[in-house]
Amino acid sequence: MMIRMRRLQVFLLLQLLLTGLSSAMLCVEILGCLKQIDVGNGQVFGVNDADEIFTWYENSWTQIDGALKHVTVGPAGVWGVNSNNNIYRLVGGSWVQMPGALKQIDAGGDQFISGVNAQDDIFCLSKSGTIPAKYQTTPPWENIEGKLKYHTCGPLSCWGVNSNNDIFYRWGSTPDSCKGSRWQQVEGKLSMIEVGSEGTVYGVTSQGSVFRREGITASNPIGTSWSQVDSCGYTFKHVSYDLGILWMLTTNGKILKCNVC
Protein backbone atom coordinates (compact mmCIF):
# COMPACT_ATOMS: atom_id res chain seq x y z
CA MET A 1 0.00 0.00 0.00
CA MET A 2 1.40 3.36 -1.03
CA ILE A 3 2.30 5.74 1.75
CA ARG A 4 -0.22 8.57 1.90
CA MET A 5 1.12 11.95 0.81
CA ARG A 6 0.39 14.04 3.87
CA ARG A 7 1.60 14.30 7.43
CA LEU A 8 -0.32 13.53 10.58
CA GLN A 9 0.06 16.56 12.82
CA VAL A 10 0.50 14.66 16.06
CA PHE A 11 3.26 16.07 18.24
CA LEU A 12 4.96 13.96 20.85
CA LEU A 13 7.50 15.08 23.43
CA LEU A 14 10.23 12.54 24.10
CA GLN A 15 13.18 12.77 26.46
CA LEU A 16 16.69 11.84 25.45
CA LEU A 17 18.77 10.70 28.42
CA LEU A 18 22.26 12.09 27.94
CA THR A 19 24.77 11.10 30.61
CA GLY A 20 22.28 11.67 33.38
CA LEU A 21 20.78 14.87 31.93
CA SER A 22 17.48 15.24 30.10
CA SER A 23 17.34 16.69 26.60
CA ALA A 24 14.02 17.11 24.78
CA MET A 25 13.14 15.84 21.34
CA LEU A 26 10.12 17.18 19.50
CA CYS A 27 8.74 14.36 17.38
CA VAL A 28 6.22 14.40 14.56
CA GLU A 29 4.41 11.21 13.61
CA ILE A 30 4.21 11.01 9.82
CA LEU A 31 1.46 9.11 8.02
CA GLY A 32 2.73 6.00 6.32
CA CYS A 33 4.31 2.68 7.12
CA LEU A 34 7.91 1.59 6.51
CA LYS A 35 9.96 -1.47 7.43
CA GLN A 36 13.36 0.20 6.94
CA ILE A 37 14.63 3.79 6.65
CA ASP A 38 17.98 5.43 5.97
CA VAL A 39 19.04 9.07 5.98
CA GLY A 40 22.22 10.85 4.92
CA ASN A 41 23.44 13.97 3.14
CA GLY A 42 20.09 15.60 3.87
CA GLN A 43 18.15 12.89 2.05
CA VAL A 44 15.66 10.32 3.37
CA PHE A 45 14.83 6.97 1.78
CA GLY A 46 12.76 4.04 2.97
CA VAL A 47 10.98 0.88 1.90
CA ASN A 48 7.67 -0.64 3.00
CA ASP A 49 6.50 -4.23 3.46
CA ALA A 50 5.73 -4.46 -0.26
CA ASP A 51 9.35 -3.46 -1.08
CA GLU A 52 8.12 -0.17 -2.56
CA ILE A 53 10.70 2.63 -2.38
CA PHE A 54 10.03 6.15 -1.11
CA THR A 55 11.95 9.36 -0.60
CA TRP A 56 10.99 12.27 1.66
CA TYR A 57 10.72 15.38 -0.51
CA GLU A 58 9.18 18.74 0.41
CA ASN A 59 7.45 17.31 3.49
CA SER A 60 5.78 14.38 1.76
CA TRP A 61 6.66 10.93 0.47
CA THR A 62 7.40 10.41 -3.22
CA GLN A 63 7.48 6.87 -4.57
CA ILE A 64 10.44 5.80 -6.70
CA ASP A 65 10.25 3.09 -9.34
CA GLY A 66 11.69 -0.28 -8.41
CA ALA A 67 11.50 -2.76 -5.56
CA LEU A 68 14.01 -3.09 -2.73
CA LYS A 69 14.00 -4.69 0.72
CA HIS A 70 16.78 -2.40 2.02
CA VAL A 71 17.84 1.05 0.81
CA THR A 72 20.68 3.35 1.89
CA VAL A 73 21.86 6.88 1.14
CA GLY A 74 25.15 8.58 1.93
CA PRO A 75 28.30 10.13 0.47
CA ALA A 76 28.64 7.19 -1.96
CA GLY A 77 25.14 7.75 -3.34
CA VAL A 78 21.90 5.80 -3.11
CA TRP A 79 22.15 2.01 -3.06
CA GLY A 80 19.88 -0.89 -2.21
CA VAL A 81 19.32 -4.63 -2.30
CA ASN A 82 16.22 -6.52 -3.42
CA SER A 83 14.53 -9.69 -2.20
CA ASN A 84 17.02 -11.80 -4.18
CA ASN A 85 19.96 -9.95 -2.56
CA ASN A 86 20.87 -8.30 -5.86
CA ILE A 87 22.69 -4.98 -5.41
CA TYR A 88 21.53 -1.78 -7.13
CA ARG A 89 22.77 1.80 -7.32
CA LEU A 90 20.65 4.80 -8.30
CA VAL A 91 22.33 6.43 -11.30
CA GLY A 92 20.67 9.29 -13.18
CA GLY A 93 17.27 8.39 -11.78
CA SER A 94 17.48 4.70 -12.74
CA TRP A 95 18.56 1.63 -10.79
CA VAL A 96 21.71 0.02 -12.16
CA GLN A 97 22.48 -3.52 -10.99
CA MET A 98 25.94 -3.99 -9.53
CA PRO A 99 27.77 -7.33 -9.34
CA GLY A 100 27.60 -9.12 -6.02
CA ALA A 101 24.96 -10.18 -3.50
CA LEU A 102 24.16 -8.63 -0.10
CA LYS A 103 21.19 -8.77 2.25
CA GLN A 104 22.03 -5.42 3.91
CA ILE A 105 24.00 -2.47 2.54
CA ASP A 106 25.20 0.88 3.87
CA ALA A 107 26.41 3.98 1.99
CA GLY A 108 27.25 6.05 5.06
CA GLY A 109 31.02 5.70 4.81
CA ASP A 110 33.21 8.43 3.35
CA GLN A 111 32.41 7.49 -0.27
CA PHE A 112 32.71 3.78 0.44
CA ILE A 113 30.13 1.00 0.80
CA SER A 114 29.70 -1.71 3.42
CA GLY A 115 27.30 -4.59 3.96
CA VAL A 116 26.74 -8.26 4.72
CA ASN A 117 25.51 -11.22 2.70
CA ALA A 118 23.03 -14.01 3.46
CA GLN A 119 25.73 -15.95 5.33
CA ASP A 120 26.62 -12.91 7.50
CA ASP A 121 29.94 -12.52 5.66
CA ILE A 122 31.13 -8.90 5.76
CA PHE A 123 32.12 -6.89 2.68
CA CYS A 124 33.12 -3.35 1.80
CA LEU A 125 33.85 -1.41 -1.38
CA SER A 126 36.50 1.30 -1.17
CA LYS A 127 36.08 4.73 -2.78
CA SER A 128 37.91 3.73 -5.97
CA GLY A 129 35.31 1.00 -6.59
CA THR A 130 32.34 3.37 -6.45
CA ILE A 131 33.38 5.86 -9.16
CA PRO A 132 31.41 5.90 -12.46
CA ALA A 133 34.22 4.36 -14.50
CA LYS A 134 33.79 1.16 -12.50
CA TYR A 135 30.06 0.71 -13.11
CA GLN A 136 30.49 -1.73 -15.98
CA THR A 137 33.24 -3.80 -14.35
CA THR A 138 33.31 -6.09 -11.36
CA PRO A 139 33.56 -3.96 -8.21
CA PRO A 140 36.53 -4.93 -6.01
CA TRP A 141 34.53 -6.07 -2.98
CA GLU A 142 36.78 -6.77 -0.01
CA ASN A 143 35.90 -9.51 2.48
CA ILE A 144 36.37 -8.54 6.14
CA GLU A 145 36.99 -11.28 8.67
CA GLY A 146 34.18 -12.15 11.05
CA LYS A 147 30.41 -12.52 10.89
CA LEU A 148 27.79 -9.76 11.21
CA LYS A 149 24.11 -9.44 10.42
CA TYR A 150 24.34 -5.63 10.14
CA HIS A 151 27.29 -3.42 9.16
CA THR A 152 27.27 0.37 8.98
CA CYS A 153 29.86 3.11 8.53
CA GLY A 154 30.22 6.85 8.97
CA PRO A 155 32.94 9.52 8.69
CA LEU A 156 34.74 8.35 11.86
CA SER A 157 33.98 4.68 12.22
CA CYS A 158 32.34 1.42 11.19
CA TRP A 159 30.11 -0.56 13.52
CA GLY A 160 28.23 -3.84 13.37
CA VAL A 161 26.13 -6.34 15.27
CA ASN A 162 26.18 -10.12 14.93
CA SER A 163 23.48 -12.79 15.19
CA ASN A 164 23.94 -12.82 18.98
CA ASN A 165 23.34 -9.02 19.05
CA ASP A 166 26.93 -8.41 20.17
CA ILE A 167 28.27 -4.99 19.15
CA PHE A 168 31.59 -4.44 17.35
CA TYR A 169 33.64 -1.45 16.29
CA ARG A 170 36.01 -1.60 13.29
CA TRP A 171 39.28 0.29 13.62
CA GLY A 172 41.04 1.88 10.67
CA SER A 173 38.37 1.98 7.94
CA THR A 174 39.12 4.78 5.44
CA PRO A 175 37.87 5.73 1.95
CA ASP A 176 40.93 4.15 0.34
CA SER A 177 41.09 1.17 2.68
CA CYS A 178 37.57 0.32 3.78
CA LYS A 179 38.67 -3.04 5.18
CA GLY A 180 40.27 -1.43 8.23
CA SER A 181 42.51 -3.25 10.69
CA ARG A 182 40.70 -5.03 13.54
CA TRP A 183 37.44 -5.53 15.42
CA GLN A 184 36.87 -4.50 19.02
CA GLN A 185 33.80 -5.70 20.89
CA VAL A 186 31.81 -2.96 22.60
CA GLU A 187 29.70 -3.46 25.71
CA GLY A 188 25.96 -3.92 25.27
CA LYS A 189 23.51 -5.69 23.00
CA LEU A 190 21.78 -4.30 19.89
CA SER A 191 19.75 -5.90 17.11
CA MET A 192 20.55 -3.12 14.61
CA ILE A 193 22.90 -0.13 14.55
CA GLU A 194 23.32 2.95 12.35
CA VAL A 195 26.11 5.50 12.02
CA GLY A 196 24.93 8.96 10.94
CA SER A 197 26.71 11.12 8.38
CA GLU A 198 28.08 13.24 11.26
CA GLY A 199 29.43 10.20 13.10
CA THR A 200 26.57 9.85 15.58
CA VAL A 201 25.72 6.23 16.45
CA TYR A 202 22.24 4.97 17.35
CA GLY A 203 20.96 1.43 17.79
CA VAL A 204 17.90 -0.63 18.70
CA THR A 205 17.71 -3.57 21.09
CA SER A 206 15.73 -6.75 20.45
CA GLN A 207 13.18 -5.41 22.96
CA GLY A 208 12.64 -2.26 20.88
CA SER A 209 14.58 0.25 23.00
CA VAL A 210 16.73 2.92 21.31
CA PHE A 211 20.23 3.85 22.49
CA ARG A 212 22.75 6.51 21.49
CA ARG A 213 26.53 6.20 21.77
CA GLU A 214 28.04 9.00 23.82
CA GLY A 215 31.55 10.44 23.89
CA ILE A 216 32.34 9.98 20.18
CA THR A 217 35.06 12.36 18.97
CA ALA A 218 37.69 12.36 16.25
CA SER A 219 40.27 11.32 18.85
CA ASN A 220 37.97 8.74 20.47
CA PRO A 221 35.70 7.45 17.67
CA ILE A 222 34.60 4.40 19.67
CA GLY A 223 32.91 6.63 22.27
CA THR A 224 32.47 6.00 25.99
CA SER A 225 28.98 4.75 26.89
CA TRP A 226 25.38 4.14 25.81
CA SER A 227 22.45 6.34 26.81
CA GLN A 228 18.84 5.36 26.29
CA VAL A 229 16.29 7.35 24.32
CA ASP A 230 12.96 7.46 26.17
CA SER A 231 10.49 5.51 24.03
CA CYS A 232 7.43 7.26 25.48
CA GLY A 233 5.52 4.00 25.27
CA TYR A 234 6.65 2.92 21.79
CA THR A 235 8.86 0.00 20.80
CA PHE A 236 11.10 0.48 17.77
CA LYS A 237 12.73 -1.65 15.09
CA HIS A 238 14.84 0.80 13.06
CA VAL A 239 16.48 4.22 13.46
CA SER A 240 18.62 6.55 11.36
CA TYR A 241 20.10 9.99 12.12
CA ASP A 242 21.22 12.94 9.98
CA LEU A 243 21.58 16.72 10.41
CA GLY A 244 20.03 16.86 13.88
CA ILE A 245 17.01 14.72 13.03
CA LEU A 246 16.41 11.20 14.32
CA TRP A 247 14.05 9.07 12.22
CA MET A 248 12.54 6.12 14.09
CA LEU A 249 10.27 3.27 12.97
CA THR A 250 8.06 1.55 15.51
CA THR A 251 7.66 -2.22 15.45
CA ASN A 252 4.42 -1.82 13.52
CA GLY A 253 5.98 0.57 10.99
CA LYS A 254 4.88 3.99 12.27
CA ILE A 255 7.31 6.76 11.33
CA LEU A 256 8.57 9.34 13.85
CA LYS A 257 10.65 12.34 12.78
CA CYS A 258 12.39 13.82 15.84
CA ASN A 259 14.37 17.05 16.15
CA VAL A 260 17.14 16.38 18.65
CA CYS A 261 17.82 19.44 20.83
What is the C-alpha to C-alpha distance for residues 139 and 131, in angstroms, rounded to an integer? 10
CB 156 within 8 A of CB 200: no
Q: How far is CA 128 from the centre of its chain?
A: 22
List pLDDT tens digits, range 42-65: 999 999 999 999 999 989 999 999
| Angle, CA 96 vertex, CA 138 and CA 150 arms, to 5° | 75
Distance CA 246, CA 239 (A): 7
- The answer, yes or no, to whether residue 193 has pLDDT greater than 60, is yes
- pLDDT, position 148: 98
d(CA 142, CA 226): 30
Model pLDDT for residues 196-232, shown as the tens digit of each residue: 978 999 999 999 999 999 999 999 999 999 999 987 7
Choice among 7-16, 54-63, 117-126, 228-237 with the minimum mean pLDDT: 7-16
8 Å CB contact between 245 and 260: yes
Domain ranges of the chain: 10-260
pLDDT in tens, 71-113: 999 999 999 999 999 999 999 899 999 999 999 999 998 889 9
What DSSP letter does each residue of 145-194 carry, written as one string? EEE-SEEEE-SS-EEEE-TT-EEEEEET-BTTBTT-SEEEEEEEE-SEEE
Dihedral angle sign, alpha carbons of residues 93, 98, 104, 108: negative
Q: Which of 226, 156, 241 is nearest to 196 (CA)?
A: 241
pTM above the 0.75 mark? yes
- pLDDT at residue 26 in the model: 85
CATH number 3.90.45.10 given to 10-260: no
Cα separation values, 195 from 57, 96, 98, 107, 181, Å: 22, 25, 24, 10, 19
As a whole-number percent, the residues of the chain with pLDDT over 70 amount to 88
